[in-house]
Amino acid sequence: MKSLGSIRRAFAPWNDPGAKPYIHFDRVTKKFGDFTAVNDLSLAIYEREFFALLGASGCGKSTLLRMLAGFEEPTSGRIMLDGQDLAGIPPYRRPVNMMFQSYALFPHMSVEKNIAFGLKQEGMPKADVEKRVTEMLKLVKLEPFAKRKPHQLSGGQRQRVALARSVAKRPKVLLLDEPLGALDKKLREETQFELMDLQQELGLTFVVVTHDQEEAMTMADRIAIMDKGQVMQVATPAEVYEAPASRFVAGFVGNVNMFEGKVAERSGNSARITGGTGAEITVENAGEAVKDTEVSFAIRPEKIRISSKRPADAINALQGEVYDIAYLGDMTVYHVRLDDGQMVRAATMNATRVADDPLTWDDRAWISFRPDAGVVLTR
Amino acid sequence: MANAALSSRDADAVAQSLPERLAGAVFSRLVIIVPYLWLLFFFLVPFLIVFKISLSTTAIAMPPYTPVLDFADGLAGFVAQAKELSFDNYVWLTQDPLYYTAYLTSVMVAAVSTVLTLLVGYPIAYGMARAPAALRPTLLMLVILPFWTSFLIRVYAWIGILKPEGLLNQALMGVGIIDSPLIIINTYTAVFIGIVYSYLPFMVLPLYSSLEKMDNSLIEAAQDLGCPPITAFWKITFPLSIPGIVAGCLLVFIPAVGEFVIPDLLGGSQTLMIGKTLWTEFFSNRDWPVSSAVAVILLLILIVPIVIFQNAQARAQEAGR
Side-chain-side CA neighbours of residue B258 (13 Å): 16
> Is A223 inside any structural domain?
yes
> Is A73 inside any structural domain?
yes
- A164 and chain B: CB distance < 8 Å anywhere? no
CB within 8 Å: B225 and A107: no
pLDDT exceeds cutoff 60 at A340 = yes
CATH code of residue A91: 3.40.50.300
Residues of B in contact with A101 (CB under 8 A): 217
Q: What would the pLDDT profile of B203-213 be if each residue is shown by its tens digit?
A: 999 999 999 98
Q: What is the mean pLDDT of residues B151-180?
A: 89
Give the confidence band of A278 by pLDDT, cuts at 50, 70, 90. Answer: low
Q: What is the mean pLDDT of residues B138-152?
A: 91
CB-based burial label for B228 (10 Å; 0-12, 13-18, 19+) = middle
CB within 8 Å: B225 and A118: yes
> Is A327 inside any structural domain?
yes
CA-closest candidate to residue A3, choices A239, A222, A165, A322: A239
pLDDT exceeds cutoff 50 at A8 = no
CA-closest candidate to residue B320, choices A153, A104, A108: A108
Q: What backbone phi and psi angles, to 5 degrees, belong to A42?
A: -125, 140
Q: What is the mean pLDDT of residues A170-175?
A: 91
Question: Are residue A360 and residue A292 in the same domain, yes or no?
Answer: yes
**How distant is the alpha carbon of residue A250 from its chain centre?**
12
**How distant is the alpha carbon of residue A177 from its chain centre?**
13
Q: State the pairing for strand pair A23-32/A76-81.
A: antiparallel
Cα angle, residue B194 at apex, residues B189 and B200 outer, rounded to 5°:
120
Range of the structural domain that residue B196 is part of: 88-319
Q: What would the pLDDT profile of A97-106 be if each residue is shown by its tens digit?
A: 999 999 999 9
CATH code of residue A307: 2.40.50.140
CB within 8 Å: A117 and B228: no
Of the two residues B309 and A43, the one the predictor is more confident about is A43
pLDDT in the model for residue A127 = 93
**Does A144 sit behind a cis peptide bond, omega within 30 degrees of 0 on the bond before it?**
no
> Is A225 inside any structural domain?
yes
> Is A113 inside any structural domain?
no
Give the end of a domain, one of A249, A278, A299.
A249
pTM of this structure: 0.77
pLDDT exceeds cutoff 60 at A293 = yes
Q: What is the mean pLDDT of residues A243-263?
A: 87
Contact criterion met (CB below 8 Å) for A64 and B197? no
- A117 and chain B: CB distance < 8 Å anywhere? yes
Give the confidence band of A7 by pLDDT, cuts at 50, 70, 90. Answer: very low
Q: What would the pLDDT profile of B257-277 be if each residue is shown by its tens digit?
A: 988 889 888 988 777 888 888
Interface test with B, best of A73, A106, A109 (most B CBs within 10 A): A106
- A92 and chain B: CB distance < 8 Å anywhere? yes
Q: What percent of chain A has pLDDT over 90?
A: 30
How confident is the prediction for chain B on average, in pLDDT? 86
Of the two residues A224 and A353, the one the predictor is more confident about is A224
CA distance A26 to B52: 83
Give the end of a domain, one of A188, A223, A249.
A249
Q: For A170, name the nearest residue in chain B, comparing CA atoms only.
A: B225
> Is A292 inside any structural domain?
yes
Of B224, B226, B231, the CB nearest to A69: B224
CA distance A53 to A210: 6
CB-based burial label for B59 (10 Å; 0-12, 13-18, 19+) = middle
Of B218, B224, B231, the CB nearest to A91: B224
Q: What is the mean pLDDT of residues B129-143?
A: 92
pLDDT in the model for residue B320 = 52
Question: Are residue A278 and residue A234 in the same domain, yes or no?
Answer: no
Q: What backbone phi and psi angles, to 5 degrees, belong to A193?
A: -70, -35
CA distance B75 to B52: 18
pLDDT exceeds cutoff 60 at B2 = no
pLDDT in the model for residue B116 = 96
Q: What is the mean pLDDT of residues B107-128?
A: 95
Question: Are residue A217 and residue A273 in the same domain, yes or no?
Answer: no
CA-closest candidate to residue B258, choices B219, B305, B222: B305
Range of the structural domain that residue A307 is part of: 255-377
Contact criterion met (CB below 8 Å) for A206 and A222? no
CA-closest candidate to residue A103, choices A57, A147, A150: A150
pLDDT in the model for residue B5 = 43
CATH code of residue B219: 1.10.3720.10
Question: Are residue A266 and residue A338 in the same domain, yes or no?
Answer: yes
Give the end of a domain, one of A219, A249, A279.
A249
Its sign, for the CA torsion A126, A128, A131, A137, is negative
Question: Are residue A209 and residue A329 in the same domain, yes or no?
Answer: no
Of the two residues A205 and B62, the one the predictor is more confident about is A205
Q: For A152, name the nearest residue in chain B, comparing CA atoms only.
A: B319
pLDDT exceeds cutoff 70 at B117 = yes
How confident is the prediction for chain A on average, in pLDDT? 86
Contact criterion met (CB below 8 Å) for A181 and A192? no
Q: What is the mean pLDDT of residues A309-338?
A: 87
Which residues are within 8 A (CB) of B103 and not within 5 positions of it... i.e. 6 or more apart? B274, B297, B298, B301
Domain count, chain A: 2
Of B223, B226, B236, the CB nearest to A106: B236
Domain count, chain B: 1
Distances (CA, A) of A26 to A60, A62, A72, A146: 15, 17, 16, 42
pLDDT in the model for residue B7 = 45
Question: Are residue A192 and residue A271 in the same domain, yes or no?
Answer: no
- B222 and chain A: CB distance < 8 Å anywhere? yes
pLDDT exceeds cutoff 90 at B314 = no
Question: Are residue A228 and residue A79 in the same domain, yes or no?
Answer: yes
Residue A35 three-state SS = strand
